Structure 1
Amino acid sequence: MNPGGPVDEATWRNRFIIINITRIAGTIVVLFGLFVWQTDFIREGGSVLGFPIALFGLAASFGGPLMLARRWRTPPGE
């Protein structure tokens, strides 16, 4: 989705930063989910609510950068 033609260096740098922030944020969500699941943070003995939170963070950590890269990919033939 690059209607404006070539992309300058600042745009590539910003995209690189956004992709890495997405990875880091997903990892933080995974760690938070594991923390909720395995500790007495919400309920004594852990809460099963942390498991889907950790899975969501895992999907965001791996799938988010792929989705962004696909969105920013130059169409074939350009």
Structure 2
Amino acid sequence: MGREFLIEGLMLNAGININGFSKSEPHGFMNLLCHIYKEMACFMMECDNFPKAARFNFGLKFSLMEYIDLDFIVRDCFSTNDKR
């Protein structure tokens, strides 16, 4: 579900994800989408996979055509895992 939040063009969405694998559990997510330039460029911020292992993701979305978007996303920004 989603709704415009506080200011015009700032969208807040929330929901629940359940993956299709065995022993899956429901996980919540919340995201904010803010239009930077009309509806052609947006900044995205998301918190997902909570309550157990929350991840923070950030990104930029560019609308190239009516049904084609190009997204650049940085996932798990504040992770303390060192995967070297």
> Which has the higher Rg, Structure 1 or Structure 2?
1
Q: Which has the higher strand share?
A: 2
Q: Which has the higher helix share?
A: 1
**TM-score computed with the length of structure 2 as normaliser:** 0.23
